[in-house]
Chains A and B, each alone.
Chain A
Amino acid sequence: MADGIRDKVAILGMGCSQFGERWDMGAEELMEEAFSEALADAGIETREIGAAWLGSCMDEVNIGKSATPASLTLRLDNIPVTRVENYCATGTEAFRGAVYAVAAGACDIALAIGVEKLKDTGYGGLPGLEIGTLPPLWWPNLSAPGVFAQVASAYMSRYKVPRDVLKRALAEISAKSHANGAKNPKAHLRKPVSCDTIMASPMIAEPLGLFDCCGVSDGSAAAIVTTPEIAKSLGKHPDNMVTVKALQLALSNGSEGGYNDWDGSYILTTRKAAQRSYAEAGIGKPREELSMFEVHDCFSITELVTMEDLGLSADGGAIKDVMDGFYNADGKIPCQIDGGLKCFGHPIGASGIRMVYEMYLQLQGRAGERQLKDPRYGLTHNLGGFPHQNVVGISIVGRYR
């Protein structure tokens, strides 16, 4: 049994662009915005980076298929650079590449950078994705809100939840993220929204309304990682160091969508990745030990079931926790303290790294108006694809000591 990557890799520096409608900038300028902040934070020169991973999933117009846009834009030192894509877990996948490279001893310092410009696509949600030739056999008139709304139907059916009760809890989830995002200068949407407004918004796919769906944005985020020893040699103090505790990925194997062993009320891969993440991080009781988390709130129902899939709420218990304020900024385990996808939107390649960025700031006491009291562990979660066929990436970061 491998002993995992806990505390083998430290975050040396991170950066995050302003998210939003960045009509004035191309993908290259967005990358530069995130990278320059990360480089200054790390206190190193570009030539000290030994390998890099670029996460970009949809942005064929600006980025294309290779990793050269990152290498050229950032003037990397002719190092290995790899472009990765894995649906909405793309950012986490880039981070995983850089972290694994350092953990393996393949290089001393590695970069993960993710970028996406979605507003250029002119589409209200995510642009069309090449999905191969088989799915059309069994995806008639499928929309992303439509399939995630089916999770809401299945959840209501499984736990005998009245529609009005679920709808209210979903509104609380979105209202909480908007309240948090309003305090974040880098968020796209920075306006508190009331539950009444959310519940009265136009229907997208029953029972999900407009405010149950996350935004569409442009953005970039970057992380520079190294070993704790090198970080110390570069002047970083162990008391203020953030290390990677776990990085896990789980993909559907077809059991949810094709073989009918699944009732649609939860995300199987999140449960698998969470179990492995907690084991790797040495976390035995996540509800007691986890300080904060950022989940893939593409839709409010996704956030609700993820609270249970991560083992933070009991099965069927997330609605009570949400209504009790357990996940609010002043609750026991704040969720989406930076505003989440709800307020940042979802430039796919950047999202996973953007989530780690917030955990990193919080763990170092640098989150400004949003700062939580003494956080120890932060978890980030990406769910790519659809409930019945997906990719889940989870990272856990925490204080070195």
Chain B
Amino acid sequence: MSATGKPVPEVLPDARPYWEAAQRGELMIQRCRGTGKAFLYPRRWSPYDYSPDPAWEKASGRGTLYSYSIVYQPPYAAFKDDCPYVLAIVELEEGPRMMANILNCPPESVRIGMALKLCFETRGSGFRIPQFEPA
């Protein structure tokens, strides 16, 4: 947990490229060598055909809003000051969908299908977490 109480992810070996990229301000995804499909979350085999060692690539950081809700009651006290905030599913340009918060815009202005771009939330002593904001 960070000083603010918000959780900071534990960086495990399989996901190290993902988190190291995030600290550089980039979003890394993986692509199955057998099927050619991109996917999240990071792992050492493809969830499609179990082929080993999926390739890493830098995502464009562009996506659209697939679905969302607005959270008014925080799951933990550490998120209280963020409320109300948008809990979204973002469809990346490369195909995979990921859960993220939509930052830097009023929750009531969020619309399904809206264009989004990558941004980062900083937690603890400077740890950066990929999030999204209106493009």
In the bound complex, do residue B129 and residue A140 qualify as a contact, i.e. CB atoms below 8 Å apart?
yes
Most buried by B among A141, A143, A254, A260: A141
Cα–Cα, bound, A141→B130 (Å) = 12
Query: What distance in Å separates the Cβ of A232 from its nearest Cβ neighbour in chain B?
Result: 50
In the bound complex, do residue B75 and residue A144 qualify as a contact, i.e. CB atoms below 8 Å apart?
yes
Residue-wise, chain B 4-37 has the 8 Å CB interface mask toward A (1 for contact) of 0001011010010010000000000000000000
List residues 114-130 of chain B with CB under 8 A from any CB of chain A.
121, 129
Cα–Cα, bound, A264→B90 (Å) = 12
Cα–Cα, bound, A145→B85 (Å) = 13
Residue-wise, chain B 40-70 has the 8 Å CB interface mask toward A (1 for contact) of 1110000110000000000000000011111
In the bound complex, do residue A143 and residue B112 qualify as a contact, i.e. CB atoms below 8 Å apart?
no
Cα–Cα, bound, A64→B10 (Å) = 26
Given A134-B41, A137-B42, A205-B87, the answer on whether A153 and B97 have CB atoms closer than 8 Å is no
Cα–Cα, bound, A266→B15 (Å) = 30
A-side contacts of B99, CB under 8 Å: 138-140, 142
In the bound complex, do residue B75 and residue A136 qualify as a contact, i.e. CB atoms below 8 Å apart?
no
Given A133-B12, A138-B40, A141-B85, the answer on whether A206 and B112 have CB atoms closer than 8 Å is no
Cα–Cα, bound, A206→B106 (Å) = 14
Given A134-B41, A146-B87, A150-B89, the answer on whether A141 and B71 have CB atoms closer than 8 Å is yes
Cα–Cα, bound, A154→B68 (Å) = 8
In the bound complex, do residue B68 and residue A153 qualify as a contact, i.e. CB atoms below 8 Å apart?
yes
Given A140-B131, A146-B87, A259-B48, the answer on whether A133 and B71 have CB atoms closer than 8 Å is no
Instruction: Tell yes or no: B73 within 8 A of A by CB.
Output: yes
Cα–Cα, bound, A205→B86 (Å) = 9
B-side contacts of A125, CB under 8 Å: 75
A-side contacts of B18, CB under 8 Å: 137
CB within 8 Å: A-B pair count: 108
List residues 69-116 of chain B with CB under 8 A from any CB of chain A.
69-76, 79, 82, 84-85, 87, 89, 91, 95-101, 107, 112
- Nearest chain A residue, comparing its CB with the CB of B92: A260
In the bound complex, do residue B41 and residue A258 qualify as a contact, i.e. CB atoms below 8 Å apart?
yes
In the bound complex, do residue B72 and residue A203 qualify as a contact, i.e. CB atoms below 8 Å apart?
yes
In the bound complex, do residue A206 and residue B72 qualify as a contact, i.e. CB atoms below 8 Å apart?
yes
Given A205-B71, A205-B72, A205-B87, the answer on whether A141 and B79 have CB atoms closer than 8 Å is yes
B-side contacts of A143, CB under 8 Å: 71, 73-75, 87
Cα–Cα, bound, A166→B12 (Å) = 42
In the bound complex, do residue A150 and residue B75 qualify as a contact, i.e. CB atoms below 8 Å apart?
no
Query: What distance in Å separates the Cβ of A125 from its nearest Cβ neighbour in chain B?
Result: 8
In the bound complex, do residue A145 and residue B71 qualify as a contact, i.e. CB atoms below 8 Å apart?
yes
In the bound complex, do residue B7 and residue A138 qualify as a contact, i.e. CB atoms below 8 Å apart?
no
A-side contacts of B85, CB under 8 Å: 141
Cα–Cα, bound, A141→B9 (Å) = 12
Instruction: Tell yes or no: A99 within 8 A of B by CB.
Output: no
A-side contacts of B69, CB under 8 Å: 145-147, 149-150, 152-153, 205-208
Cα–Cα, bound, A237→B84 (Å) = 58
In the bound complex, do residue A259 and residue B47 qualify as a contact, i.e. CB atoms below 8 Å apart?
yes
Cα–Cα, bound, A150→B68 (Å) = 5
Q: Which of A128, A136, A150, A152 contacts B87 (CB 8 A)?
A: A150
Cα–Cα, bound, A143→B84 (Å) = 12
The 4 closest A-B pairs by CB, nearest first: A149-B69, A143-B75, A206-B70, A146-B87
Additional A-B contacts beyond A128-B76, A137-B15, A146-B71 (12; CB < 8 A) = A133-B12, A134-B41, A141-B79, A143-B73, A143-B74, A149-B70, A149-B87, A150-B69, A150-B89, A153-B68, A205-B71, A260-B96
Can you identify 6 A-B contacts, CB atoms within 8 angstroms? Answer: A136-B7, A141-B74, A141-B85, A146-B71, A204-B71, A254-B47
